[in-house]
Structure 1
């Protein structure tokens, strides 16, 4: 089975606290008033998916994932096909968010009743990892999971560093980091560790990768490349994996990070004069939105700049957009890119 260019994203329940600020977009149908006619009752207040995300702190991609996986939140649709949600749904989502913060699993809380959620929110504390948990996994990933369960950042970082030095960056990403993240997701799903442990592991790995690729990128003399996530894409651990591979190939990485407006990517492409723009796309991303954004971005940036999409949900068949899903393919493609640039 081919290795994906980007490993598994953070589990889709994780809400990102870095939402951009803004006023809620409320969609409603005002009644017409006449002195001769009894006013029609107001329609219940409806919120767009973006407004719900801002109201609850739950990422748009997460709301869509829960809808597909659990059947909640179930939206109504406007005549134009857009999702809208009532206030009762928003109130339940606030309870779900609090239950997740208390350490409960998404598979448990999203389908639960409001009454049960109130019980959990009122009485639960974040759970520790189960003391009898069996982490059956090859070394060194098993020791990394144990360090995660113990919230031992020093041991986890030491384990990352040892394997990075022993097997090299590319094998570390393919054969160590990806299985580790998959195991963390599986152990969270069956209750052997909690939400806080998944967050802890993801953040430590992200920091470790950034500490390695940033100084390497700064020392390079090759072409500049931009790394960014499309708007509403907040899973950016995998973008750091991409930056590792590009830095190793000799590129200087301009890292724009998660949830980057297309106008900002366009402005970065004008200012940095990159040879390529790379975007990562997680499983939680909406396929139609991603395809539309890539088409628009391709039209916004100079046609001589490569536009590369990678990740489990990266669409294919878009004119002018290169799709790379395997890390080793990305490494080879990047090396050819740098060699071609230097020969010109």
Structure 2
């Protein structure tokens, strides 16, 4: 006896072991399959253009597998708090490969739920990959309110260091890539970085009464223009009660050495993403330092072998943000 499929279910063929409907899936089947109410699916289709893309000979609309994947990603972003139109704009701008990448089982929110370092456990919709996509969607829509909320949400539920490594830095890279590909305007890139700067500085302000002791000097080497890693480091140090003297990007060697001689810090962190010379003037000028000073260098711009002419200076090269934080907190009497 042959069992007939339920009414409304499209006929299917086999492709790589999966049943693939010849005419796509009707809204009722998609609703049951994804657990999303049919009126919601119709609303997303009508208001935001995210709906079925096939039509039958009888002019009935049907969802393809790609349409269904887009709906799943839409549901993930809206669960993050991204406005529906912003989420739809982001999802519709992705090609099939990009949508599939975001829905890879290894990146599903429920597959590897991250735990917050200093706060509460991240929820099932707070997987880093989902948060990155939510920030990108807000950048695409030029939606500062949502973006700021996402930044705060991440920092409430995790320490700044983990937030930077798992969410903020990947989101900034993704926005930068989309800008280079011409898929985002430069205004989206500026908004993403400017709002993150504001939120990181808010962390510093919130911890201002807790910081104490000799400050760590934070500076970008020479003509280095990228300073968001420095701001993230300043925020994490403040969260740990460590004071900092933030000099920002493009600090000339002479100005840096002058600052060191005036403030006598126990440690200085220098960031460089652009290639630096092995024997640059700064290393020779550090001979003027006559107190124990730990110089921590981070970023891909530094050479592996740095020679400093100064018996009081110790140079440590760190490979990542977490190591930089640990080094600064444990060295030079900064551990709290």
> Are the counterparts in 2 of residues 315 and 323 from structure 1 also a CA contact under 8 Å?
no
Q: Report SS of the residue matched to 1:192.
A: coil
For the residue of structure 2 that corresponds to 1:259, the secondary structure is strand
| Equivalence for 1:324 | 318
> Matches of 2:292 and 2:264 in 1, distance apart?
10
- Counterpart check, 1:309 vs 2:309: no
Aligned twin of 1:133: 93
TM-score, length-scaled by structure 1: 0.56
Q: CA deviation at 1:315?
A: 2.2
Q: Does residue 267 of the first structure (1) align with residue 258 of the second (2)?
A: yes
Residues 291 and 243 of structure 1: is their aligned pair in 2 closer, same or farther, counting only changes over 3 Å?
farther
Deviation at 1:341, TM superposition (A): 4.9
Q: Equivalent residue for 2:234?
A: 243
More strand by share: 2
CA-to-aligned-CA distance 1:3-43 (integer Å, 9 cap, x gap): xxxxxxxxxxxxxxxxxxxxxxxxxxxxxxxxxxxxxxxxx
Query: Does 1:224 pair with 2:215?
Result: yes
Query: Which protein has greater RCO, CA pairs closer than 8 Å, 6+ apart?
Result: 1
Paired with 1:210 and 1:291, the residues of 2 have a C-alpha distance of 34
SS in structure 1 at match of 2:213? coil
Residue by residue over 1:224-247, the C-alpha shift from the partner in whole angstroms, topping out at 9 and shown as x without a partner, is 111111221222112112212332
* Cα pair distance change 1:314/1:228, threshold 3 Å: same
Gaps of 5+ in 2: 1-88, 103-128, 308-313
Q: Is the 8 A contact 2:294 2:331 kept in 1?
A: no
Contact 1:220 1:247 in 2 (8 A): yes
- Per the TM alignment, residue 217 of structure 1 is displaced from its structure 2 partner at its CA by 4.7
- Secondary structure of the 1:258 match is strand
Within 5 Å, give how 1:279-298 maps onto structure 2: 279-282=270-273, 285-288=274-277, 291-298=279-286
Q: Which has the larger radius of gyration?
A: 2
Do 1:221 and 1:252's aligned partners in 2 also have CA atoms closer than 8 Å? yes
- Equivalent positions of 1:146-225 (< 5 A) are 146-225=137-216
Cα offset, 1:342, TM superposition: 6.8
Aligned residues, how many? 211
Q: Contact 1:310 / 1:323 at 8 angstroms: preserved in 2?
A: yes
Structure 1 residue ranges without an equivalent (≥5): 1-128
Q: Deviation per CA, 1:31-83: give whole Å up to 9, x if none.
A: xxxxxxxxxxxxxxxxxxxxxxxxxxxxxxxxxxxxxxxxxxxxxxxxxxxxx
Q: 1:180 to 1:342 in 2, by over 3 A?
A: closer
Tell me the secondary structure at the aligned position of residue 287 of structure 1.
coil
Distance 1:254 1:317, change over 3 A: same
Q: Deviations over 1:106-165 (max 9, x none)?
A: xxxxxxxxxxxxxxxxxxxxxxx9894127543111111111111111110000001111
Deviation, structure 1 residue 259: 1.2
RMSD: 2.5
Relative distance call for 1:196 and 1:291 in structure 2 (3 A) is: farther
Distance 1:130 1:140, change over 3 A: closer
Given that 1:298 and 1:321 are in contact with CA atoms closer than 8 Å, whether structure 2 keeps it comes out as no
Structure 1 residues 332 and 342, CA gap change in structure 2 (3 angstroms): closer
SS in 2 for 1:323: strand
CA distance in 1, matches of 2:335, 2:130: 41
